[in-house]
A and B are shown apart, each in its own frame.
Chain A
Amino acid sequence: MADAADQSSGDRWSEGGRRAYTPFQPEGLNLPLSSLRAIYDLPTSPELLFHEERRGTRTWGENLTYFAGSGYLVGSVAGAAVGLRRAAAQAERGESAKLRANRALNQCGAVGRAYGNRLGVIGLLFAGIESGVAGYRDVDDWANTVAAGLGAGLLYRSMSGPRSAVVGCLVGGLVAGAAVVGKQALDRYCPSMSKSRELVGKSVVQMIGFPFDHLSLYSYCTRAVAQNHHAVGAASSEPGRHCLHGSMLSLCTSVPEAPASTGTVARKHDLILWMP
């Protein structure tokens, strides 16, 4: 689990009393007899409960499943639409509804499956190459995406001969470049749209509420916590994070999350490269 990789094994009290939260609490009273002041070392910044939130960006495994999954889903939906059109085109007069429905289902399924599989494979190749290039370069910028587009197009068409491979490479690079440019344009010209996308998604979820009864800690929902963040003085905390309220911190042992300094380049595959 990532908890094991995040912390150093052995003495966990050595860093000024900071410990990562873990649900596996050993029995008995664990006093850091070397420095009892560590008990009073309560964090003042928001403490995140899940390591996914601490990271902020995707690991290579999440990247892989994200692009493969979205490729497959988009391909399936697109293929279903094309199949529906094909079924509608093949319809003849005087057919029963059952026959039409059967044909529609067949075509949607067949074409949807074919498109979905192909786009899923392309998404897989893209994500793999992007994660590999990003891990190799240790820098997270647009060149990773363009290189991934080139490579995915090349590999996908490599079976059909070298000319087809080159054409595929060019197409992939163009599409990836268009995506990068489009994303930058979106961020610049309508920044509210790209930011509010996440907020809308998360606030809808919080309105529905968490169905997990053991997570009663989550009653400290993010709006209340966000206000307290300002009171405590912690800067740059996104309102969509799962945080523990300040008064709860003495009960749970958690680590204060060091707010990311704005000057550093955020590395996509940060500490633990090999963790999927």
Chain B
Amino acid sequence: MRIYEKIPDDDHRLIHCAGDGFVIGGSAGSAYHFIRTLRRGGGLATGVRAVGANAPRIGGAFAAYHAVFCAFETAISRARGKDDFWGSVAAGAACMSTIHCRGGVARHAVGGCAIGAIVHGIGWVCSELHSKMMLYRDSSRR
């Protein structure tokens, strides 16, 4: 199911995971706060200030989630000897439970399963579609 996208044992994977989360969270947070400030009647400078105040916080939260998720996913896949979808689901459960360990583990475990399943299910579907698209790319008859 996995196509050869990435090296399985790339160096510094955890750093890249945290960085991925930070960039994505920062972009989403920047866009959200900028648009929100503009809609509330602020100017460009006010929007930029709001972004500077809020976007790092959201980026950091995303980075934490993604880093913990990737750590659990790697650990689970190493332990099981396989790298598949259920590892991602279990990692999502473990991630949400760890980060929200004060608010009730069971609830967040179920929510984490759901999030892991949805996000990685979408990734799975996308990679299947990508494989199908790429299948006859290099044959002489198309």
- Listed in ascending order, the chain A residues whose CB lies under 8 Å from chain B are 1, 4, 12, 19, 22-24, 26-28, 30, 49-50, 52-53, 62, 64-70, 72-73, 76, 113, 116-118, 120-121, 123-124, 159, 198, 201-202, 205-206, 208, 210-215, 242
Contact = CB atoms under 8 A, between A and B. Distances in A.
Interface stretch (B1-9, B35-43, B89-97, B111-119): B1-9
Interface of B: 2-12, 14-23, 26, 49, 52, 56-57, 59-60, 63-64, 67, 77-78, 80-83, 130-131, 134-140
Contacts of A67: 19
Given A27-B139, A116-B60, A214-B2, 8 more contacts: A23-B4, A26-B135, A26-B138, A30-B140, A66-B12, A72-B67, A116-B64, A208-B78
A55 to B, nearest CB: 11
Q: Which 3 A-B pairs have the closest CB atoms?
A: A69-B19, A65-B19, A26-B139
A198 B4 contact: no
B14 A65 contact: no
B4 A120 contact: no
Contacts of A242: 7
A182 B88 CA distance: 40
Contacts of B4: 23, 49-50
Contact of A53 (B5, B7, B57, B140): B7
B83 A120 contact: no
Given A26-B135, A64-B19, A66-B19, A73 B67 contact: yes
A118 B56 contact: yes
A72 B80 contact: no
Chain B interface mostly helix, strand, loop or mixed? helix
A203 B60 CA distance: 32
B83 A211 contact: yes
B9 A210 contact: yes
Contact of A50 (B6, B131, B134): B6
A4 B130 CA distance: 12
Given A52-B10, A113-B60, A208-B78, A66 B138 contact: no
A113 to B, nearest CB: 6
Contacts of B3: 23-24
Contacts of A70: 12, 15, 18-19
B8 A210 contact: yes
Given A120-B60, A201-B11, A159 B49 contact: yes
A30 B18 CA distance: 43
Contacts of B64: 76, 113, 116
Contacts of B135: 24, 26
B83 A212 contact: yes
Contacts of A121: 26, 56, 59
Contacts of B11: 198, 201-202
Contacts of A211: 8, 77-78, 80-83
Contacts of A213: 81-82
27 contacts: A1-B5, A1-B134, A4-B137, A23-B4, A24-B137, A26-B135, A30-B139, A50-B4, A53-B7, A68-B26, A69-B17, A69-B18, A69-B19, A69-B21, A73-B14, A73-B15, A116-B64, A120-B22, A120-B56, A121-B59, A159-B52, A198-B11, A202-B9, A205-B9, A210-B8, A211-B82, A242-B7
